[in-house]
Copies of this chain bind each other. A is one copy, B any other.
Amino acid sequence: MIEKRKLTLKDIAKELGISVSTASRALKEHPDIAKDTIRLVKEYAEAHHYVPNFLAVNFRKSRTFNIGLIVPELVHHFFSTVISGAIDEAKKCGYNVLVSQSNDLLKDEIVACRTMLASSVDGLLISISNETLEGDHLSDFISEGKPVIQFDKITDQLDTPKVTVDDFEGAYHAVSHLIDQGYGRIAHLRGRENVKNAKERFEGYRKALSDHEMEFSDNWVKSCIAISEQEGFDFAKELMEGNNPPDAFFCITDLVALGVIKYLKGAGYQIPGQVGVMGFSNWKLAEVVSPGLSSVDQFGYEMGIKSMKLLIELIQNHDLENHETFEIKTKLIVRESSLKRQK
């Protein structure tokens, strides 16, 4: 295969006996240029498949139409949904998306940021790792004039626009629903103390309990670290075998709820009826598992679109001052696992 040298503006100019600058302007239909010249140049370019050298254009304009996107984990239903939305929106606006993952490690996140900055993205969309507390690696973007937007998992240490899920309200509705269905001793398998989303969901849980004058006990609240199925299983076992067993579980995420369900089924409890279970995130697994798992949908796709739209706006307006926060509303999806308690 012969690598044909690419046609440049200079080639066109020489061939047509005009100057490079005229050729350049003609191609973008500059008002100064005669219609005839424009037609001439455009036809030649078309016929010879002229494609501008974008490396040169971008260098000249110092922008790339590339946007960086970093998530903790790519293989994760919620995040892949967000990415999908972000990419679709970016495509509409002529941007490409550079995707990377931190594996929830600060170290990896910093590396990802560095290589993204190196490859000169025009802006960054990030959902931070569990380990990230401050945002020095992020402010590097800002100081180079590149806007950053945080979504879903955020830190308040860095003043950027944010797009979040309304975790508080989602949790509030979920727990209120369990109460409506007659459950009164509701345990909560929460996430890490230092993660904002986990905190918000916990607060929503607390508020729902107190608004309905329900019993609360510290012993019913367990912190998951890995947010795994195993933790769900283990905590469910611990609580149910304890001397003050709950009659429902509100779980930080569907995966944890799955562990709870597996334990409960294995131990012979009836779901729902005897024990209610509520997840969070509404993954595919929620509709597949048996009994169907009630959960809270987070509209990841919409979140991706919203975040990307916002970022592109900031990029195009050279706006580094905006610090708004947008909350995406959730939706309670009621399936079987949370239905009426048998008295």
Contact = CB atoms under 8 A, between A and B. Distances in A.
Interface in A250-297: 258, 284-285, 288-290
A91 B258 CA distance: 33
A227 interface: no
Interface string A1-22: 1011010000000000000000
Contacts of A258: 288
Contacts of A62: 53, 55
A68 to B, nearest CB: 8
Contact of A119 (B3, B96, B115): B96
A83 interface: yes
Max count, chain B CB within 10 A of own CB: residue among A1, A53, A99, A285: A99
Interface string A75-104: 111001101100110010010111111000
Interface stretch (A28-36, A140-148, A182-190, A191-199): A140-148
Nearest to A112: B91
A24 interface: no
Contact of A100 (B97, B101, B120): B97
Contacts of A228: none
